[in-house]
Structure 1
Amino acid sequence: MKRTIFELTPQRSIREAFVEASSFLDGLRVMEPQRNAQLLLEHVLGLSGTSYYMALADPFPSDRRYALEEAINRKAQGVPAQYIIGEQEFYGRPFEVTPAVLIPRPETELLVEAVLKYGRELTPRSYERLQAIDIGTGSGAIAITLALQEPAWDLLASDISPDALEVAARNAKQLNACAEFRQGNLLEPFAGMAPDILVSNPPYIPAEDIEGLQPEVRDYEPRTALDGGPDGLNPYRIMMAQLSLLSAPPRLIAFELGMGQAEDVAELLRSAGHWKEIVTVPDLAGIDRHVLGIFR
């Protein structure tokens, strides 16, 4: 009979505990069972990287048995490992994550790189510093990373969720990043401003597709960070309409988007008429994942 509750066999080595935990998750058809088992083992043991691999032959510490069982059983129920651990690495830095925020994805690092590349080619509108705004910041991963990579830029970020903003503020403090966070719907908190750069990874999943997402995404990550309306493009349309709230449009605008949405989002930018060049950036799988508008 297939086990539905994980109980670690006593007197196991760390390697054997890993095999037992990953086999249990695999038997329940949890995605990436070995990766999840290792992440949770490293968290429970306070080890990572080389220290984890060097300790594999050591006896599993009995005082950490309950913690591992609890973590594996939560993962078996579908809870993302990042929420169990409480963090996710982004651009080489640890970010706190809770169920109030979307878990940062590796492809979003490519959006940050594109903004850094094209943003560094801009000059301030006056003698002031470049100003960048991050819309729908969630954990603050984009805004904080930009602030740390380019300390000469002024970073501001918004989110409609006060709980998400609390997570972002804690991340900024923990990582010693200078960024200002404002609550509100998309561009509304920045009315009257003239930012040089606007970047956003908004909700872009078509509403009817959400039920078909992986359970750990569908059931645990915040719906407001996923649902982009009937075709997934509502947030982009709203932001284009809200550009009139700004005293001047950004000279660099950069969006992350879903599969098959690149041309539609690029057309929204072209129709706005503010940017001379529209650039599409693929992710590592070759999917057009980011669209940028550039006024040189």
Structure 2
Amino acid sequence: MKRTIFELTPQPSIREAFVEASSFLDGLRVMESQRNAQLLLEHVLGLSGTSYFMALADPFPADRRHALEEAINRKAQGVPAQYIIGEQEFYGRPFEVTPAVLIPRPETELLVEAVLKYGRELTLRSNERLQAIDIGTGSGAIAITLALQEPAWGLLASDISPDALEVAARNAKQLNAGVEFRQGNLLEPFAGMAPDILVSNPPYIPAEDIEGLQPEVRDYEPRTALDGGPDGLNPYRIMMAQLPLLSAPPRLIAFELGMGQAEDVAELLRSAGHWKEIVTVPDLAGIDRHVLGISR
């Protein structure tokens, strides 16, 4: 009979606590059970990297027993480890995450890399201070990273969720990033502006596919950050329709998108007629994950 409640055996070593926790999660078919157990152990013990591995033979601290049991049991219920820990690394920096925001993904770092590359080319050509806007910022990971990597750029970011903006603002303060946050739907908060760069990782999951997502994502990450409408493309269409709100279209536009959506999003950019070059960037799995429009 499978255990459904995790209880640590008396006086284990840290290594034994890891084995117990990972075996418990594996028995419940929790994905990446060993990685999740290690993340939660490191969090509970306040250790990471080399310090964690060097401590494996040490006795598990009795005063941290309840904290580990609680964390593992929450993970067993499906709660993402990042929400339990309250943090996710992005571009080498720690970002606070709560259930109000989507957990930043590694593939989004490639979107940041592409924006930095083509944005720097714009800087070289114009020798002007660029202004970039991040639409649907969530935790603020994209906007804050761009602001820290290119301090000369002006960064503004928006989200429809006031709770998400509170998280993003805390991240900007913690990381000392100069980003201005605005609440509103997609491009609406920037009406009348002429940003040089527009970047967005909007909701792009087709509505009918959400029930088939991993339970961690489906049941815990914010639905408004996932649901892209019937085919997942609604946010892109709306942003294209909202472009006249801006006093001039951005010279660089960059989107993250879902599997199989690259050509449709590229066609939306081509049809808008503002960008001479359309670039598709694959993720590390070879999936076309980002589409950019560039004015030359």
* TM-score, length-scaled by structure 2: 0.99
CA offsets 1:229-266 (integer angstroms, 9 cap, x no match): 00000000000000000000000000000000000000
Query: In structure 2, the residue corresponding to 1:103 is in which secondary structure?
Result: coil
* Count of residue correspondences: 296
Note if contact 1:124-1:196 (Cα within 8 Å) is conserved in structure 2: no
- In 2, Cα distance between the equivalents of 1:127 and 1:272? 26
Structure 1, unpaired ranges of 5+: none
**Inter-CA distance 124–187: structure 2 relative to 1 (3 Å threshold):** farther
- In 1, Cα distance between the equivalents of 2:289 and 2:256? 6
Note if contact 1:144-1:179 (Cα within 8 Å) is conserved in structure 2: yes
Note if contact 1:205-1:231 (Cα within 8 Å) is conserved in structure 2: yes
Query: In structure 1, the residue corresponding to 2:220 is in which secondary structure?
Result: coil
- In 1, Cα distance between the equivalents of 2:22 and 2:128? 54
- In 1, Cα distance between the equivalents of 2:126 and 2:49? 46
Structure 2, unpaired ranges of 5+: none
Query: In structure 1, the residue corresponding to 2:18 is in which secondary structure?
Result: helix
Pairing 1:146-165 to 2, within 5 Å after superposition? 146-165=146-165
- In 2, Cα distance between the equivalents of 1:180 and 1:128? 20
Structure 1: 4+ residue segments shifted above 3 A = 123-128
Over the aligned positions, Cα root-mean-square deviation in angstroms equals 1.0
- In 1, Cα distance between the equivalents of 2:70 and 2:101? 23
- In 2, Cα distance between the equivalents of 1:91 and 1:127? 26
* TM-score, length-scaled by structure 1: 0.99
- In 2, Cα distance between the equivalents of 1:123 and 1:175? 24
Note if contact 1:147-1:154 (Cα within 8 Å) is conserved in structure 2: yes
- In 1, Cα distance between the equivalents of 2:261 and 2:223? 19
Note if contact 1:138-1:168 (Cα within 8 Å) is conserved in structure 2: yes
Note if contact 1:132-1:154 (Cα within 8 Å) is conserved in structure 2: yes
**Inter-CA distance 209–105: structure 2 relative to 1 (3 Å threshold):** same
CA offsets 1:184-225 (integer angstroms, 9 cap, x no match): 000000000000000000000000000000001000000000
- In 2, Cα distance between the equivalents of 1:184 and 1:33? 38
Q: Quote how far apart the aligned CAs of 1:59 are.
A: 0.4
Aligned-residue sequence identity (percent) comes to: 96
Q: Quote how far apart the aligned CAs of 1:125 are.
A: 9.8
CA offsets 1:19-61 (integer angstroms, 9 cap, x no match): 0000000000001000000000000000000000000000000
- In 2, Cα distance between the equivalents of 1:126 and 1:217? 42
Note if contact 1:6-1:73 (Cα within 8 Å) is conserved in structure 2: yes
Note if contact 1:156-1:180 (Cα within 8 Å) is conserved in structure 2: yes
- In 1, Cα distance between the equivalents of 2:257 and 2:238? 15
- In 2, Cα distance between the equivalents of 1:124 and 1:195? 17
Query: In structure 1, the residue corresponding to 2:290 is in which secondary structure?
Result: strand
Query: In structure 2, the residue corresponding to 1:219 is in which secondary structure?
Result: helix
Note if contact 1:90-1:109 (Cα within 8 Å) is conserved in structure 2: yes
Query: In structure 1, the residue corresponding to 2:148 is in which secondary structure?
Result: helix
Note if contact 1:124-1:130 (Cα within 8 Å) is conserved in structure 2: no
- Tell me if 1:65 matches 2:61: no
Q: Quote how far apart the aligned CAs of 1:123 are.
A: 3.4
- In 2, Cα distance between the equivalents of 1:128 and 1:111? 22
Query: In structure 2, the residue corresponding to 1:120 is in which secondary structure?
Result: helix
- In 1, Cα distance between the equivalents of 2:30 and 2:196? 44
Q: Quote how far apart the aligned CAs of 1:124 are.
A: 8.7
Note if contact 1:203-1:227 (Cα within 8 Å) is conserved in structure 2: yes
Note if contact 1:101-1:222 (Cα within 8 Å) is conserved in structure 2: yes
